[in-house]
Chains A and B, each alone.
Chain A
Amino acid sequence: QITLKESGPTLVKPTQTLTLTCTFSGFSLSTSAVGVGWIRQPPGKALEWLALIYWNDDKHYSPSLKSRLTITKDTSKNQVVLTMTNMDPVDTATFYCAHATLYYYDGSGYSHVLDYWGQGTLVTVSS
């Protein structure tokens, strides 16, 4: 059974760096064709794909947020960490992590489906 859970601060101040941890079970990030991604959703708004890390440590980021995001993994702890710098009130959102099943490599990356999601964690940016 695959489960994921996000953890981190519920409140950050503008300009601060947000660090979120995704702790998962039921799979290993050392297994090929597996990844973990991050997605956010501002209150009342749509989902936004942020980043994805593969089992082989390859990383991909949203082009619009690439300069602010870093995704890393700790395979021994079954954790994936997302950092987002220079937080702003417009970054207030629920952040989700999700298991990704990877399949076809098209030269730029693996196509993937986000098939199991964590419950999400709400992060508010306010002074």
Chain B
Amino acid sequence: QSALTQPASVSGSPGQSITISCTGTSSDVGGYNYVSWYQQHPGKAPKLMIYDVSNRPSGVSHRFSGSKSGNTASLTISGLQAEDEADYYCSSYTSSTRVFGTGTKVTVL
């Protein structure tokens, strides 16, 4: 069970849109519509931003959206804001367990 692959870093200017990819296999991302995304600020616990590929929990900004194609899931942040600067992790269900991604540091320029 290998970690899902994410780019190490993504950056954008305020107001821009950025997309973070999360690549797995047919045993995880490609096999289930159970991909989640978490935001983690330094020294804080992860916060659920997206679940089941594209669903937002109550209270999460509409600027965050998720999608999936084949073995790759994506998180898009539109209208980038300074407060979006954080680490982001994807996670996929896989046969009774979950696997996390390698993590992406988002920098707001």
Check A119–B100 contact: CB distance below 8 A: no
Check A113–B45 contact: CB distance below 8 A: no
| Interface presence of A55 (CB below 8 A) | no
| Interface presence of A14 (CB below 8 A) | no
**Interface size band for B:** 20 to 34
A64 partner residues in chain B, CB cutoff 8 A: 1
Check A47–B97 contact: CB distance below 8 A: no
B-binding residues in A (CB < 8 A)? 37, 39, 45-49, 52, 60-64, 96, 106, 108-120
B3 partner residues in chain A, CB cutoff 8 A: 46
| Interface presence of B102 (CB below 8 A) | yes
| Interface presence of B52 (CB below 8 A) | yes
B46 partner residues in chain A, CB cutoff 8 A: 47, 96, 117
A118 partner residues in chain B, CB cutoff 8 A: 45
- Bound: A39/B32 CA distance, A: 21
- Bound: A115/B48 CA distance, A: 6
B43 CB to nearest chain A CB (Å): 9
B66 CB to nearest chain A CB (Å): 13
**Known pairs A49-B100, A113-B51, A117-B48 / 8 extra A-B pairs, C-beta < 8 Å:** A46-B101, A61-B97, A108-B95, A109-B95, A113-B36, A114-B91, A115-B51, A118-B45
- Bound: A112/B1 CA distance, A: 17
Taking chain A's interface residues, is the majority helix, strand, or loop, or is none over half, making it mixed? Answer: strand
Check A62–B97 contact: CB distance below 8 A: yes
Question: Most chain-B Cβ atoms within 10 A of its Cβ — which of A62, A106, A111, A116?
Answer: A111
| Interface presence of B96 (CB below 8 A) | yes
Check A46–B36 contact: CB distance below 8 A: no
Contacts A46-B3, A113-B36 given; does A60 touch B96 at CB 8 Å: yes
Contacts A113-B34, A114-B36 given; does A52 touch B89 at CB 8 Å: no
| Interface presence of B99 (CB below 8 A) | yes
B24 CB to nearest chain A CB (Å): 14
What are 9 inter-chain pairs, A to B, with CB distance below 8 A? Answer: A46-B100, A46-B101, A47-B38, A47-B89, A47-B100, A49-B100, A112-B98, A113-B52, A115-B51
List the 10 closest A-B pairs by CB distance, nearest first.
A109-B96, A47-B100, A117-B45, A108-B96, A49-B98, A113-B51, A111-B93, A46-B103, A60-B96, A111-B34
